[in-house]
Amino acid sequence: EIMDLRKHEQIDLLRILEVDEKEILKLKKEQQRSDKIAELYKDNEETIDKYLENSKNKSKEQIQKEIEELKRKKSKDNRTRK
C-alpha cells in the first residue's frame, strides 16, 4: 500500500514520522521513500496504517486541493529562499 501513495503523500508521512528534512531530501526515488516508511513501520504501525486508510478515502477533489496547496507552499518557499 505504501507504493500506492503519491510523492507528496510519502513525504508528508515521512514528516509525520519525524524524519529529518535533510534525510527526506536524500530519498529522491519512490522506492527509497517507500523503503524508509517500511523501515519505520514496526515502531509506527498505528500512525502509518491510519495515514494509509485516510489516503484511500480521499476524493479526487481533496487530492487535487492538497496538490494545489503544496504547489503554493513550494512557490512561496522558493521566493523566501531567494
Instruction: Round the average pLDDT of the chain to a whole number and report it.
Output: 83
Chain segment 2-59, per-residue pLDDT in tens: 778 889 899 999 999 999 999 999 999 999 999 999 999 999 998 888 888 888 777 7
Residue 81 has pLDDT above 60, yes or no: no
pLDDT for res 77 = 63
Alpha helix positions (H), the chain: 7-16, 21-26, 30-41, 45-56, 60-81
Per the listing, cell 496504517 goes with 49
pTM of the model: 0.69
Distance, CA of 67 to CA of 12 (rounded, Å): 12
Chain segment 57-73, per-residue pLDDT in tens: 777 677 667 767 766 77
